[in-house]
Amino acid sequence: MKIKVKKSSEVKKPINEMRLVISSSSANESFARTAVSAFVAQLDPTIEEIADIKTAVSEAVTNCIVHAYRNTIGQIYINVRVFSGGRVCIRIRDTGCGIENIPQAMEPLFTTGGSERAGLGFAVMESFMDGLKVRSNLGKGTTVSMEKVIARRIKYNVGA
Ligand SMILES: Nc1ncnc2c1ncn2[C@@H]1O[C@H](COP(=O)(O)OP(=O)(O)OP(=O)(O)O)[C@@H](O)[C@H]1O
Ligand SMILES: [Mg+2]
């Protein structure tokens, strides 16, 4: 008997992908979350799933705008990959100031943003998504990777 073992590159290949580069202008925050949710719509998500993704993207992009590039304008790189089985991987990357201590930054209520910020962005991303990973190099930038599995739903053909 011959068993075909899939190579890891075959297993991990996305079935669809999009890339987006935007300036870190606050006007682009709503564009980013709308663009990502429009792309994810092909998986037929629930309104709740879309709302979760929009919120998480919004938090990550806002962090690039207010922390990574602070008083300057830089580029935000967004990559969304869709895998079979409904898994969506969203990567949001900046080349800004970076994070010195990632575990501390991810603690709920920790902020370097003063009284204007609640320190809850990472906590929100963690609770609204199924996975969150943060990588950062001080002075070089930060990459936030999030994933969510969009549950398959039974489609009913009304009137059929
Ligand atoms: N892309 C980033 N570049 C540099 N520092 C970041 C970045 N994202 C987060 N941080 C750091 O991590 C801290 C925590 O981020 P988090 O989003 O949890 O809270 P916040 O942005 O301070 O407040 P909130 O999101 O509630 O408005 C920030 O205060 C900042 O110091
Ligand atoms: Mg934040």
Query: Of residues 111 and 156, which shows the higher confidence score?
Result: 111
Identify the pLDDT of residue 52. 98
Q: What pTM, to 2 d.p., does this model score?
A: 0.91
The string of pLDDT tens digits covering residues 35-49 is 999 999 999 999 999
| Catalytic site residue from 59, 79, 91, 93 | 59
Q: How far is the CA of 64 from the centre of ligand 2 (A)?
A: 8
Q: Which residues pair with 80 in a beta bridge?
A: 18, 90
What letter represents residue 80's amino acid?
V
CB 50 within 8 A of CB 37: yes
The pLDDT of residue 160 is above 70: no
Residues near 77 by beta carbon (within 8 Å), at least 6 away in sequence: 19, 20, 21, 91, 92, 93, 94
The string of pLDDT tens digits covering residues 98-131 is 999 999 999 999 999 999 999 999 999 999 999 9
Q: How many CA atoms lie within 13 A of 5 on its CB side?
A: 2
Q: What's the whole-number mean pLDDT along residues 80-105?
A: 97
Radius of gyration in angstroms for the set of CA atoms belonging to the chain, rounded to a whole number: 18
Q: Which domains does the chain have, with CATH numbers?
A: 16-149 (3.30.565.10)
- What is the residue-averaged pLDDT of the chain? 92
Q: In the annotation, is 152 catalytic?
A: no
Q: What's the whole-number mean pLDDT along residues 27-42?
A: 97
Identify the pLDDT of residue 56. 98
What SS3 state is found at 114?
Answer: helix
Identify the pLDDT of residue 146. 98
CA distance linking residue 81 with residue 117, whole number of Å: 30
Q: In the annotation, is 48 catalytic?
A: no
Query: 120 CB under 6 A from ligand 1?
Result: yes
Query: 149 CB under 6 A from ligand 1?
Result: no
Query: 134 CB under 6 A from ligand 1?
Result: no
Identify the pLDDT of residue 12. 80
